[in-house]
Amino acid sequence: MSVTSPVSTTAVRATGIWKVFNEGQANEVTALQDINLTVEAGEFISLIGPSGCGKSTLLRVIADLTHPTKGSAEVAGMSAADARQQQRYGMAFQQAALFDWRTVRRNVELPLELQGWSKSARAARAMELLEMVQLADFAGHRPWELSGGMQQRVAIARSLAVDPPLLLMDEPFGALDEMTRERMQNELLRIRQETGKSVIFVTHSIPEAVYLSDRVVVMSPRPGRITDIIDVNLGSRDEDTREAEAFFAGVTAVREALRGRTGGSAARARVGEV
């Protein structure tokens, strides 16, 4: 292994991660138990599981927003802390978390501003990203003038601003209606196609996980752990995908895995075949 080639084909590597809240107290919670997960560069991974199973916690450990009790997370071949400091990931949350005192464009500029980009360079980059999420016309608007879906698109543009190789998304479409949600899913896939990013995507929706992902990571609560990883092979997605045989097979496989039936493997085999 050469020291001069820091380029890694592994986007994220989680090794033996434990997270225990309030350790040693009466309200102790083991949010994560021995999580091992590798995400290859360019891969789209969904985390799915019942509420409280530790999806957000896992994402926050990878983002270095919280420290694991045990184990470690690596992003782009470096420690999670270094990756955060070097802005090797972009993050989007269920709440768009836009700043009301900034225009839409200046919200997208925020990460660039923190990186010390010049005014004109960051304005140009922000406009490029707003074009990508089809909100260029709203650059001068204030966040509250936008619908929930539009706000979420701004948040996604912001997470892409520094062009990080990895996107961490915690239920970004959770607050949207079904129609908007499907449109946003297609948009996210298109953006991912255009940019080649790796994505870790937390969701409660089985169809959403299957539609978007290369692999669906199924988790179970108390203690939070990975119980199953389901490969999805839908090829390039379009509107027909949602009605395709393989899509339903994937949905069934994930649903069964969530119910804790290892019989999911039969359905899983079909996902690959069809």
Partner 1 sequence: MSGRLRAVWPPVLIALIFLSAWQLLVVVQDIKPFLLPSPSLILGNFFGDFTLMFNAAIYTGTTAILGLMFGTAVGLVLALAAQRFGVVNKLITPLAAGLAAVPIIALTPILNNMFNITSRTPKVIITMIIVFFPVFVNVTRGLIQVQPVQLELMRSMNARPRTVLRQLRIPNAIPFFFTALKIAAPLSVIAALVSEYFGGPQQGLGSRIASSAANTAYGRAWAYVVASIITGLIFYLIVLAVERWAAPWTGRARSA
Ligand X SMILES: Nc1ncnc2c1ncn2[C@@H]1O[C@H](COP(=O)(O)OP(=O)(O)OP(=O)(O)O)[C@@H](O)[C@H]1O
Between 150 and 219, CB nearer to ligand X: 219
Nearer to partner 1, 150 or 271 (CB): 150
Stretch of 59-67, 70-78, 128-136, 219-227 contacting partner 1, by CB under 8 A: 59-67
Q: Where does this chain touch partner 1 (CB under 8 A) — which range of 69-77, 85-93, 248-256, 263-271?
A: 85-93
User: Minimum Å distance from CB 118 to partner 1?
Assistant: 17
Q: Which long-range contacts (CB under 8 A, 24 or more apart) does 189-192 make?
A: 189/237, 191/132, 191/133, 191/156, 191/160, 192/44, 192/167
Type of residue numbered 261: R
At position 181, the amino acid (one-letter code) is R
Residue 116 and residue 232: Cα distance in Å, rounded?
A: 40
Q: Which amino acid is at 75?
A: V
Phi/psi of residue 176, nearest 5 degrees: -100, 155
Name which of partner 1, ligand X, Mg ion, none residue 148 binds, using a CB cut-off of 5 to 8 Å depending on partner kind.
partner 1
- Please report whether residue 33 would count as binding Mg ion according to CB under 5 A: no
Taking CB under 5 A as the binding criterion, the range among 4-12, 51-59, 65-73, 121-129 that sits at the site for Mg ion is: 51-59
Which 154-173 residues touch partner 1, going by CB under 8 A? 168
What is the tally of helices (H) and strands (E) in the chain?
9, 10
Phi, psi of 54 (to 5 degrees): 105, 15
Q: Pick one of Mg ion, partner 1, ligand X, none as the site partner of residue 87 (Cβ within 5 to 8 A by kind).
A: partner 1
Smaller CB distance to Mg ion: residue 57 or 107? Answer: 57
Binding region for ligand X (CB under 6 A): 21-22, 29, 31, 49, 51-57, 224
Distance of alpha carbon 217 from alpha carbon 257, whole angstroms: 10
Task: Determine the length of the chain.
Answer: 274
